[in-house]
Amino acid sequence: MPNASTSGSLIVKLLQYYKWSFVKFLYEDTPKPWHECQVLLRPIAHTFASNQIRSDNRKITNNDIKDNFKSIFIDFISNNASVSLWCVSPRTFRSAILAANKLGFVNGEYVFIYLDTVLTQENTDEKSLAVRQPWFNPNETISEVNENARRAFETVLFVRQRLYTGERFRRFAADVVEFARDTNRTKQLTHESIGTDETNFYDAVVTYFKALKMHYENHFIQQTADDDEKIIYPSLDAHTFKSMICNRSISGTNRNITLNHICDRIDIGYTVYDLNPDNGELEAVVAYPAEPFSSENKQLQWLNESRLIYFIDKNASFIPDTPRCGFNNIKCPKKTLIPIWGWIIISLSSIIVLLLIVGFVLYRRAKFEAELKAMQWLIKWEDLTTRTLLHNGVATPSFNKLSSSVKRSSVSSYRSTDSESGGQAKQTFTKTAVYKFSKNTAFGKAFISRSNLNQKKNPLEVMLV
């Protein structure tokens, strides 16, 4: 089928150019007038598969239209595809794009490709409003709706036949409709007007019969027997018949029909149209195949090197195969009062403050102990030797006979208490220790200098309380 193969090749070239590997195909579930979408589905899907492009398809039903296409965008497209291919009526597509704008899909991360393969009287003229501004609805009473549609159509790429119909097409279409009315066969018309599919089919039939006529005109045998003239036609030679169709160009309904050496029609070119944000009109950007039509033209032809495809707001940068936030915003979590990195900073700061406090306490403790060790009067415990203190000439090694109050008092204060009472002196005991006095130590030097005991060599007696 020429339409499917050529348009599918154009879409494949476009997908490969932008490195898109997955596409969703949507078509309308109605037999009239866009039933061609179901016919195009299989050859386009086959073209995708042969070029390592994955695809998925879905019908657009009346329930989807009543739901304002919410399930299509949320459940079908946004799950795993940035590119969707639409083959529906212009009215349905306009409603769908308005829904996409309302749902937030017109953000420069999604692309909508519209297959405008059916040309009718409404869009056969390049100068008509339906062709130049498909987003505009003259019957729309709210201007804001048209403005939203214009904004949404910036993310849309239109795929149309490159060569539009001329006077021959109009005359042919009018003749077919008139014939149907004269013969009461208007019900058999699939469209209210004739489209390119009908003309292409008619051209195929004309091509076949012209080749058939040429074959039999050149190979008939005339015999005469019993005064009766007979014309005998030879059997059909398929190889010879094929050679009469391939590698030739004949006059068709719409334009000249050109076939290559394998009898593929190569005169049906397709073009990608993109909306110009400045004037809101579609402009031809990319064509396939390139003119003049030949089998060697296998690449996209950019019609204007300075005019790239604008996905939105004159942004011509490539749209990734996966949205920036991922499908269903998995890579862009919802914003909170304090983001995750904020909690991380707060936790690290708390740990640092706690470590600083602990370090400061340990530093003060170490400093205090260092100051104690540096003091000259500090006596080491191993430098003391214990002995029993005698009181009133009696020595009793009983340390427990002292009451707790006496233990906390010095000997001199206890004696003063006894003298005041005037009673019999009691024996008092306390544990003492003798410091191994040496002049060479810092403590000994300090003690001798302060006590003026330079001549004495007796050890220092210390009371333990």
In this structure, the number of other CB atoms found within 10 A of the CB of residue 429 comes to: 19
Cβ(304)–Cβ(285) below 8 Å: yes
Query: CATH number of the domain that 323 lies in?
Result: 3.40.50.2300
Residue that terminates a domain, selected from 329, 356, 386: 329
Residue that terminates a domain, selected from 347, 374, 401: 374
- Residues 69, 81, single domain; the answer is yes
Residue that terminates a domain, selected from 374, 397, 430: 374
For the whole model, what pTM was predicted?
0.60
What is the number of alpha carbons within 13 Å of residue 22 lying toward its C-beta?
Answer: 13
Cβ(161)–Cβ(115) below 8 Å: no
Question: Six-digit token pair at 164?
Answer: 């539009």
- Residues 294, 440, single domain; the answer is no
- Residues 154, 108, single domain; the answer is yes
Query: Residue 334: which region, alpha, beta or left (left: phi > 0; alpha: psi -120 to 50)?
Result: beta
User: What is the DSSP track for 188-229?
Assistant: G-SSSS--HHHHHHHHHHHHHHHHHHHHHHHH-EEEEETTEE
Total number of residues shown for the chain: 465
- Residues 370, 380, single domain; the answer is no
- Residues 442, 380, single domain; the answer is yes
Which residues span the domain enclosing 437? 376-463
Q: Angle 238-245/196-219 helices, nearest 10 degrees? A: 130
Cβ(188)–Cβ(234) below 8 Å: no
- Residues 362, 418, single domain; the answer is no
Phi, psi of 18 (to 5 degrees): -95, 5
- Residues 140, 212, single domain; the answer is yes
What's the total number of domains in the chain?
3
* Single-letter amino acid, residue 312: I
- Residues 363, 424, single domain; the answer is no
- Residues 284, 369, single domain; the answer is no
Q: List per-residue pLDDT tens for the chain, 465 residues long.
A: 444 566 778 889 899 999 999 999 998 866 554 456 777 777 888 888 888 999 998 989 889 989 999 999 988 988 888 899 998 888 889 999 999 999 989 988 899 999 886 555 555 556 677 778 889 998 888 889 999 999 999 999 999 876 556 677 778 878 888 888 888 877 766 555 666 667 778 888 888 888 888 777 765 555 444 555 666 666 777 777 778 888 888 887 777 788 877 777 777 778 899 999 888 999 989 888 776 666 566 778 888 888 889 988 888 888 887 777 777 667 776 666 677 778 889 999 999 999 999 999 999 999 888 887 777 666 667 767 766 555 555 554 444 444 444 444 444 444 444 444 455 555 666 667 766 655 555 555 555 555 544 444 444 444 444
Cβ(302)–Cβ(290) below 8 Å: no
- Residues 365, 321, single domain; the answer is no
- Residues 270, 386, single domain; the answer is no
Q: Which of 435, 441, 444, 438 is nearest to 381 (CA)?
A: 435
Cβ(233)–Cβ(117) below 8 Å: no
Cβ(60)–Cβ(54) below 8 Å: no
Cβ(143)–Cβ(291) below 8 Å: no
- Residues 212, 145, single domain; the answer is yes
